[in-house]
Structure 1
């Protein structure tokens, strides 16, 4: 599993959204690495990580992250995830709760997909395998991944997100979509977590809007919610300074970093 890291101290593992890779954290890492050791892997055969060979499953992706923690000799970490990365974080929490000292969830949800959502994911997976992903995946995804303010005021953010999507291998896109389609409900997992937990969401997120984020925060004992203005589904890319500031404050207040 490919990863990048910077900083020192408490390890903070950040898991990326779909269909991008660990580079989505590039503007966040330097804003946090004076406080914690930030580790950003590529999961699900995306980015520079090797293609997955096991049957698609979010638990398989989580096992890969656990393997990375073992390789880095990290017994406990603060675990964060955005969108798909949140699904992987919850799967890791289900498999090895003793490894998670604190939980950061951004623009994600605990509930499983409904039938229509699963069907759409499987359709995207099949098209990626049949045609590759050039052009159409970025075109169909970017519109909903970033918020209205980014579309109107930050063309460089839209271009960056589109570029990250274009870089993803078709096999990783198909594997990740099938893994997400098959994921279970993780609400009970969150209810059993007693450590510090922060939920962050972009105010303009149309995929997992603030109301859904509130449900997520309410599921975690002691969970708290922060809504970031002028951001959509990818606040770490759209408003990295504001996102990092919220995380820094949370880490300080909870004694995690």
Structure 2
């Protein structure tokens, strides 16, 4: 089942497409995009059940989300574009790169990983679903978001919470199931024929640098944001913009 994705599209030049993380939206990129759009065309979208995109049913896979993205890419007529995925968005990016490698000029994982959930991670997804069903999305988002930042007192924590509150409960539950069942895609990194940018936060408590930098090779570019947790687009916006512009030259 496909969803019609809400998106923003600005700037001109080489197209860069941005996929947000779990309980995020296109607003996750609102500080970053102005630093790019004078030199690049930037497109940021809302995944199903997030931001302004309606939920598409609660039982779906990462592959279904990649197909939603592909449908929008086709509508926009994009070729030779760069795909950037934050966290959940990175899992979708890897799936897209696996399925449609010829469409991409390059791709990037930002605070994400090619590894699947381990058993502890899978159990955490189940508990998260239970929490949302029992206590609602507001309580869940307010508990989740501070863990994503290196500095829990950062003013952007509240901003990210407000963005997260635009996630529907069914959208969050659907995404949790998709993340829980995703497969190992380290082979996509190993066999990439286009440049890959891996971005990790040195203070990320959600996905460690080791999990992000899982593959090394001539096509792999690694960037560490020294002061960031899981939210480099908020925490070190300018450094992330510099890395993206250098990668997409």
* Range of TM-score over shorter length: over 0.9
Cα deviation for residue 221 of structure 1 reads: 4.3
Give the conservation status (yes or no) of the 8 Å contact 1:28–1:240: yes
Deviates more, 1:137-146 or 1:36-45: 137-146
The answer as to 2:61 corresponding to 1:61 is no
Which of 5, 8, 23 is equivalent to 2:9?
5
Counterpart in the other structure of 1:247: 244
Give the conservation status (yes or no) of the 8 Å contact 1:14–1:39: yes
CA offsets 1:75-134 (integer angstroms, 9 cap, x no match): 331011011110000011111111111111111010111122112112212332344211
Instruction: Tell me how large the CA RMSD over aligned residues is.
Output: 1.5
Counterpart in the other structure of 1:166: 165
Give the conservation status (yes or no) of the 8 Å contact 2:58–2:170: no
Q: Which has the higher helix share?
A: 1
Question: Residues of 1 paired with 2:189 and 2:174: CA distance?
Answer: 25
Task: Give the length in aligned residue pairs.
Answer: 245
Deviates more, 1:186-195 or 1:81-90: 186-195
Aligned pairs for 1:56-135 within 5 A:
56-134=60-138
Cα deviation for residue 44 of structure 1 reads: 3.1
TM-score, scaled to structure 1:
0.90
Structure 1 stretches of at least 4 aligned residues deviating more than 4 Å after TM superposition: none
Counterpart in the other structure of 1:255: none
Give ranges in structure 2 of 5+ residues lacking alignment.
none
Give the conservation status (yes or no) of the 8 Å contact 1:112–1:183: yes
Which of 138, 143, 146 is equivalent to 2:146?
143
SS, match of residue 163 in structure 1: helix
Give ranges in structure 1 of 5+ residues lacking alignment.
253-257
TM-score, scaled to structure 2:
0.93
Question: Residues of 2 paired with 1:100 and 1:69: CA distance?
Answer: 11
